[in-house]
Amino acid sequence: MIQTNGATIIRVAEQDDMAGLARLELAADAQLQEALGGVLLPPPQPSGDGSELFILVAGRPPVGFARVDELDGQAHLEQLSVHPLAGRRGVGRALVEAAANESRLRGFTAMTLCTFADIAFNAPFYVSCGFEEYRCPGPRLAALRVHEVELGLDALGRRISMRREI
C-alpha cells in the first residue's frame, strides 16, 4: 500500500526502516515530555517485533510512523510518532487516515487508541480525526490501560481510551 498526502508518501514499513523508528519515537517523545513539564517517559516499546498487525511510515527515510496492533477484535493504533521537524504538516493526520484505511481493508470496523487527554497534539488531535472517548473498552484494551497505570503514565497526566468507526 502506498498513499500520498501532498508530497508525503505513506507506505508499509520495510526492514531497513525498523532500526530508525526507535530514534524517531524518541525525538517525538521529547516534544511530549516538554508538554508534560519535562518528566521522563518510559522507554519506547520496540516496533517491528512481530506483534503488530502492520507499521506504516511516512517518507524515505521515515519522518513518522504508525504502528497498529489488534486488541479485542479491533485495530488499535499503538503508536503514532512524527519527528518534530516534520510536525504540523499533516504527516500525523495522513498516517492516521492511512492506518484506518489499511485496517478497513483488513476487515476491521473500528480503531482504538490510548492517549493523554489534555495535550493538544494528543486527544484533541484524535478528536479532529474522528475519534471519541471510549468508556467501555474490551478486556485487552482495559488490560492495556492497567499496564499504562503500572508504568506510571497516568501519574503524568489524564489518560483516556478512544475509538473511531472505520
Angle, alpha carbons 154-155-159 (nearest 5°):
25
Number of domain units in the chain: 1
Residues 96 and 100: their CA atoms lie apart, in Å, by 6
Host domain of residue 44: 2-165
**Tens digit of each residue's pLDDT (9 = 90 or more) over 104-132:** 999 999 999 999 999 888 999 999 999 99
Cis check for the bond before 139: say yes or no (omega within 30 of 0): no
CATH number at residue 113: 3.40.630.30
pTM, to two decimals: 0.89
Compute the Cα dihedral for 20, 50, 111, 29 and give only its sign.
negative
Mean pLDDT computed over every residue of the chain? 88
* 72, β-bridge pairs: none
Cell of 28: 517525538
Going by C-alpha positions, the residue among 114, 104, 97, 27 that lies closest to residue 62 is: 27
Cβ-in-10-Å burial (0-12, 13-18, 19+) of 120 comes to: exposed
Query: For 75-108, what is each residue's pLDDT tens digit?
Result: 999 999 999 888 788 999 999 999 999 999 999 9
What are the cell numbers at 160?
483516556
